[in-house]
Amino acid sequence: MKKFLGARPHLTVFVAALLSLAASTHAASPADGKPEVVKAEVVKVDTGRSKVTLKHAAIKSIKMAAMTMPFKVKDAAMLEALKAGDKVIFSVALVDDELVVTHIQAAK
């Protein structure tokens, strides 16, 4: 019993570390851990600045209504196959208080 109680603080620290990690890197993910996939239409592609302007549907996981806005993308190469007018699906994550597109592809 003594041994068990002694181990508990370590478990608490471990769980707290996991929670803070999840909060900082996956804030835009729903509870199941999978990134939310959002529908959008490409309005403008700016490969040089790694930005894409999207007319996006509501993003429930971050409580954002549907709107047209620019997003930073994780990697400019993600924009190579995209052009204005394309219908896409994408996922975003909150990185250093900034929304970053982590995945984007043509909608089927």
Q: Which residues bind Cu ion (CB under 5 A)?
A: 64, 67, 69
What's the CA gap between 13 and 10, in Å, rounded? 5
Answer for the pair 53, 68: CB distance below 8 angstroms, yes or no: yes
> Considering beta carbons, is residue 69 or 107 the nearer one to Cu ion?
69
Residue 31 phi, psi (nearest 5):
-60, -25
Cβ 47 to Cu ion, closest distance in Å? 21
> Considering beta carbons, is residue 64 or 89 the nearer one to Cu ion?
64
Cβ 33 to Cu ion, closest distance in Å? 22
Cβ 72 to Cu ion, closest distance in Å? 13
What's the CA gap between 80 and 21, in Å, rounded? 31
Answer for the pair 67, 98: CB distance below 8 angstroms, yes or no: no
> Considering beta carbons, is residue 17 or 37 the nearer one to Cu ion?
37
What's the CA gap between 26 and 38, in Å, rounded? 15
Cβ 65 to Cu ion, closest distance in Å? 7
> Considering beta carbons, is residue 18 or 67 the nearer one to Cu ion?
67
